[in-house]
Amino acid sequence: MQDTLERAINKYHLWRPGSDLRAWLFAIMHNVYVNQLRSRAARRETSLEDGDALPQARGEVDRLEIRDVQTALAALPAEQREVVLLVALEQMSYAQAGTALGIPVGTVMSRLFRARERLRAHLDGASQPSNLKLVR
């Protein structure tokens, strides 16, 4: 019930005044329930025979790779992380990302390039050289 009300409050702008509020809330409740069932089914582990350790090992490798990517993303400057998430995760075009962030397309492209370089260096284990120069 709490998840339903939270989602209804967040999506209140989608409710059409004059329509049945109760039916709208029940639809949200149904969708929340189905999503929870799907996530439980996805998390459920199957028992493996002694000789079938390969799928479990691959799952562990996947989790480690995801953790490494999350760590690398967290190490990026906020401006670069925003662009990477909008373009790579949200699949926005450069123009859409630029509009969302209020920056020119060229700036989106340069931030994305720098972010990808930093991510590659971090994931390859290379130390990142600083591009800053000491000015006296």
Name 109's Cβ contacts closer than 8 Å, sequence gap at least 6.
94
pLDDT of 53 above 80: no
Which pairs count as long-range contacts for 21-26, CB under 8 Å and 24+ apart, including other chains? none
C-alpha angle with apex 114: 72 to 131, nearest 5 degrees?
100
pLDDT grade, residue 19 (50/70/90)? confident
Region of poorest pLDDT, from 11-20, 39-48, 106-115: 39-48
Which pair of tokens denotes residue 16?
A: 């059409």
Which pair of tokens denotes residue 63?
A: 């989790």
Distance CA 69, CA 112 (A): 16
